[in-house]
Amino acid sequence: MAKRLFSVLTCLVFLFILGVGGAGAVTDGKIVIGHPACLSGKFAKAGEQATGGIKAIVKWVNEVYGGVSVGGKKLKLEYKYYDCESKKESVTSLLERLITVDKVDFTFAPYSSGLTLAGAPIAEKYGVIYMDHGGASDKIFKQGFTYIVQTIGPGSRYHEGTLDMLHKYAPNDKKLALVYEDSEFARAVMDGAREHAKKLGYEIVYEATYPKGVSDLTPLLSALKAKKPDIIIGGGHFVDGQLFNRQLADLDINPKALSLIAAATLPAFYDALGNLAEGVMGPSHWEYGVTYSEKAAKKAGLEWIGPSQDEFVKLFKEAVGKDIIPDYHAAEAGAAVLALVKGIEKAGSLDQDKVRKALGELKFMSFYGTWDIDETGKQVGHSMVDVQWQNGKRVIVWPEDAATGKLVYPMPTFAEKAKGKKALPK
């Protein structure tokens, strides 16, 4: 029996040594990026995309770009990530391990505003740059953190472009309904949209929120139906967006335009809803088909770095080992790597403060679009595009200079769509 006790203890000690050890990797001759990624748990989907995007760009930097030039030397990039299970406890411990045991040079934040905030104090403590690729809250940047740098755009502007576009296409359809998820992020979008709508002279006929994890929106939608809005904008995340669209169809509510954040631009949205998604729109940080290119950069007077869009898609598919088109989660994480590379080269050193300063002054274009931060680290250069599902494809309809097609307005009714009608421009 003492033997059993002993073996239990030995096991514990062994586990412990394993946890503590794993000796620090010496990082001579390369630059290591550390990332407590969300590969399981509630953000697993976004996490898979983000790690794929980072892997793709790291490969591009090493093989095509030839490495990061610092002080006359070309340094290779290396990407090291762990799975934080979308949990705040794991974020702090894994991030510290990356910084101190694995001695990574720069860090990436996990997905979501909450988890990004959870890791921020650790990055601050060690004075390591912390690239925020999936935390859209404006509030992160009002807390006085120094080393956090955002690539995703702030939430408040998500639906501005959509309203500008609809205002131009249909200046007389002014009955607007706002229906968003009750979360910090979606509320920021909603507040931004409400303000912008008032400026454009929209009449807000219905405004409501629904909690995270809702499984049935029927009572809200039947109240909405009674208001007969021309345009519905709203949403929150992936699941509720699908549910929203589906139940609008179930209850035969037919707005002339429907735009949902986050969900509507993802391929899974059309895959899940089929024809019912025809004509539905969504604002997106990035979409396959955007027209950012080396040429466009030259025209705008900006530096260009990174692969072309098609190269990126190819690299991404190799990185994840699946034939899927990357979505904006992958693109923004990849673009954050490019920003870091640019920042290091500009600083000519791996010193955190010098790189942070260089990032502050940096402005460039990549396949993801323009990148520019303000003094708090908040992304201000990136602008969004609006996408509409037309005949099973995502067509960029706004802004006009990035558009790949024309808006279909009004979108077909759900009854027409159920019979197979597509949203095709006349």
Partner 1 sequence: MKAKKYLPFIPVFVAYLALFLIGETVSGIWQLIAMLAFYCALGQAFNLFMGMTGYVDFGYVAFLGVGTYGMAITISKLYSHGLGFGLIAIGFALAIVMSVLLSLAVGAVALRLRGAYFAIATIGVNEGFRYLIEGAKLWNGSEGIIFSGPLRMAFGRQTATVLTTFAADVFVFIIALAAAFITLVYMRGKVGYALTALREDEDAAKVMGINVTKYKIIAFITSAALAGLLGASAWALKLTYVYPPDVFEITYTVEAIIIVLLGGAGTLLGPIVGGLVYGLSKYLLAIILPGFQLLIFAPVIIFIIVTFPEGLVGFVKLKTRGTWLENYIV
Partner 2 sequence: MVGHQLAGNLIQGLILGAVYGMATMGLSLIFGVLKVVNVGHGAFMMVGAFLALSTFKLLGLPPVLAVPVAFIVGMLLGFIFYRVAIKKLIKGPELSSLLATFAFGIILEEVVKLIYGSEHRGYNWALGKFSLGVTVVPYTKLIAFVGSILVAVLLYVWFNRTKAGKALRSVVEDSEGARVCGINVEWEYALSFAIGLGLTVSSGVLLTLFIPVGINPYMGGHYTLKAFVIAVLGGLESPYGAFFGGLIFGLIENGSYLLFSSFPSLEPFAMTRFFSFVMLLIILLIRPEGLLKTK
Binding positions for partner 1, rule: CB under 8 A: 1-2, 4-5, 8, 12, 15-16, 18-20, 22, 24, 37, 39-40, 81-85, 88-90, 92-97, 99-101, 114, 117-118, 120-122, 124-125, 137, 139-140, 142-145, 182-184, 187, 211-213
Place of tokens 């709508």: 197
- Residue 296 touches which member of partner 2, partner 1, none, C-beta under 5-8 Å by kind: none
Residue 126 makes contact with partner 2 by CB under 8 A:
no
Q: How far is the CB of 157 from partner 1 (least distance, A)?
A: 18
328 within 8 A of 316, measured Cβ to Cβ: no
Residue 2: other Cβ atoms inside 10 A: 6
26 within 8 A of 303, measured Cβ to Cβ: no
Residue 172 makes contact with partner 2 by CB under 8 A:
no
Instruction: Count CA atoms within 13 Å of residue 169 on its CB side.
Output: 20
Residue whose CB is less far from partner 1, 46 or 122: 122
Which secondary structure element, helix H or strand E, spans residue 6, and what is its range? helix 2-20
Residue whose CB is less far from partner 1, 82 or 286: 82
Residue whose CB is less far from partner 2, 213 or 425: 213
CA angle 416, 422, 426 (to 5 degrees): 105
Q: Are strands 106-108 and 30-37 parallel, antiparallel or unpaired?
A: parallel
423 within 8 A of 389, measured Cβ to Cβ: yes
Q: Is 361 exposed, middle or buried (0-12, 13-18, 19+ CB in 10 A)?
A: exposed
**Exactly one of 19, 66, 211, 425 binds partner 2 (CB under 8 A); which one?**
211
Tell me the C-alpha distance between 102 and 24, whole Å.
5
Q: How far is the CB of 215 from partner 1 (least distance, A)?
A: 14
Residue 325 makes contact with partner 2 by CB under 8 A:
no
Q: How far is the CB of 329 from partner 2 (least distance, A)?
A: 12
Binding string to partner 2 for residues 244 to 263, with x set by CB under 8 A, is what? -xx---xxx-----------
Mapped onto helix, strand or coil, the DSSP state of residue 35 is: strand
- Residue 273 touches which member of partner 2, partner 1, none, C-beta under 5-8 Å by kind: partner 2
**Exactly one of 127, 213, 392, 425 binds partner 2 (CB under 8 A); which one?**
213
Residue whose CB is less far from partner 2, 275 or 379: 275
Cα pseudo-dihedral 126, 148, 300, 291, rounded to 10: 110
Q: Which residues pair with 70 in a beta bridge?
A: 73
Q: How far is the CB of 43 from partner 2 (least distance, A)?
A: 9
Mapped onto helix, strand or coil, the DSSP state of residue 317 is: helix
- Residue 222 touches which member of partner 1, partner 2, none, C-beta under 5-8 Å by kind: partner 2
**Exactly one of 219, 298, 300, 351 binds partner 2 (CB under 8 A); which one?**
219
Residue whose CB is less far from partner 1, 88 or 378: 88
Q: How far is the CB of 151 from partner 2 (least distance, A)?
A: 22
**Exactly one of 357, 418, 421, 422 binds partner 2 (CB under 8 A); which one?**
418
Instruction: Tokens for 234, please give them.
Output: 């709203």
Instruction: Tokens for 196, please give them.
Output: 């912008």
The full DSSP string for 159-201 is: THHHHHHHHHH-TT--EEEEEEESSHHHHHHHHHHHHHHHHTT
**Residues within window 189-208 making contact with partner 2, judged by CB under 8 A:** 208
Tell me the C-alpha distance between 153 and 135, whole Å.
9
Residue whose CB is less far from partner 1, 110 or 369: 110
Binding string to partner 2 for residues 28 to 67, with x set by CB under 8 A, is what? ------------xxx-xx--x-------------------
Q: How far is the CB of 419 from partner 2 (least distance, A)?
A: 9
- Residue 5 touches which member of partner 2, partner 1, none, C-beta under 5-8 Å by kind: partner 1
291-313 b/e with 16+ CB inside 10 Å = b? ebeeebbeeeebebbbbebeebb
Tell me the C-alpha distance between 31 and 102, whole Å.
12
Site residues for partner 2 per CB under 8 A: 40-42, 44-45, 48, 182, 208-211, 213-216, 218-220, 222-223, 226, 238-240, 242-243, 245-246, 250-252, 268, 271-276, 322, 418
